Amino acid sequence: MMFSSMLLRAATAEDALLVSIRAFESAFQAWSGAGFGRAAASLEKLPKSPERDYWLGVSKFHESLHHLGNGAEIKAAAATDAAILALERLIEKKESNAEAHALLGTLYGMKIDGSIFRAVRYGPSVERHRKAALEHGSDNPRVLYLVGMCQFHTNRMEEAATTLAKAAECFEHQPNTVSLPNKPAWGRSSCLCFLGQAYEKLGRQAEALDCFQKALKLHPTDRLAAAGAQRLRSK
């Protein structure tokens, strides 16, 4: 009887985790800050586990990106800190989780935000997590996407284009676009959008437009991809 009730609780927790993941994916498709917040809130109610902390970190990471895009810096900083807390807790249990390291490197980079003083404080964490991410997941598309995004934001366009192109190729070998607790599928459309922006800055206009169009097929509400495609079509 006790074993049966443990199985029932485990199944219920797994179902609840899957519901929260679907809430995150719906928020991503709508690019809804409130939706990311709701997904994170539902995850916070679940029993602590590496899977729960991973998806909580992912949800808070995207919530922070949404707030930054809307100029809500205080809300973005709070979401960033919450994501870092969840992901640091995860790697305490699973140090080899490449995606957690990649997310942490990106989040600490976001905290620097061009400040020399914050670079001194957070720079070592960015580099430590970047190295760990590539050590444990050099062919993981989300790891490569996040590393490429950092290169893009530090104006290393040739490197960013190379890394993001490799990430996009790796995504092609993961055709599933629906995430499961231990099989995340997010990041493909965003990778294509950043690759398009990198190509555009390098003067590779046709390749940039192709990336923006592919991103929009996967994520029709992506405002950056839509703006990029419109910008290039008007030239």
- The answer to whether residues 107 and 79 belong to one domain is yes
Confidence of residue 12 (pLDDT cuts 50, 70, 90): confident
- The answer to whether residues 123 and 36 belong to one domain is yes
Q: Is the pLDDT of residue 67 over 90?
A: yes
Q: Is the pLDDT of residue 18 over 50?
A: yes
- The answer to whether residues 7 and 119 belong to one domain is yes
For position 174, what pLDDT does the model report?
A: 84
How does pLDDT run across 135-175, given as a tens digit for each residue? 999 999 999 999 999 888 888 899 999 999 999 999 999 87
Confidence of residue 4 (pLDDT cuts 50, 70, 90): very low
Q: Is the pLDDT of residue 109 over 70?
A: yes
How does pLDDT run across 207-233, given as a tens digit for each residue? 999 999 999 999 999 999 999 999 999
How does pLDDT run across 164-196, given as a tens digit for each residue? 999 999 999 987 778 988 999 999 999 999 999
- The answer to whether residues 131 and 18 belong to one domain is yes
The domain that contains 101 carries what CATH number?
1.25.40
| DSSP 8-state assignment for residue 180 | B
- The answer to whether residues 38 and 75 belong to one domain is yes
- The answer to whether residues 123 and 145 belong to one domain is no
The residue with greater pLDDT, 88 or 117, is 88
For position 6, what pLDDT does the model report?
A: 42
The domain that contains 179 carries what CATH number?
1.25.40.10
The average confidence (pLDDT) of the chain is: 91
- The answer to whether residues 70 and 153 belong to one domain is no
Q: Where are the alpha helices (DSSP H) in the chain?
A: 2-30, 33-44, 50-69, 73-93, 98-112, 116-137, 141-153, 157-172, 188-201, 205-218, 223-233
- CA-based angle 129:20:28, to the nearest 5? 70
Which domain covers residue 185, as residue numbers? 139-235
- The answer to whether residues 92 and 1 belong to one domain is yes
| Of 163, 206, 209, 212, nearest in space to 190 by CA | 212
For position 11, what pLDDT does the model report?
A: 58
For position 104, what pLDDT does the model report?
A: 96
| Domain's final residue, options 73, 107, 136 | 136
For position 102, what pLDDT does the model report?
A: 97
Q: Is the pLDDT of residue 2 over 50?
A: no
- The answer to whether residues 120 and 12 belong to one domain is yes
Confidence of residue 7 (pLDDT cuts 50, 70, 90): very low
- The answer to whether residues 173 and 83 belong to one domain is no
- The answer to whether residues 107 and 19 belong to one domain is yes
The tally of domains found in the chain comes to 2
For position 135, what pLDDT does the model report?
A: 96
Provide the whole-model pTM: 0.89
| Domain's final residue, options 136, 168, 198 | 136
| Domain's final residue, options 136, 163, 198 | 136
- The answer to whether residues 118 and 181 belong to one domain is no
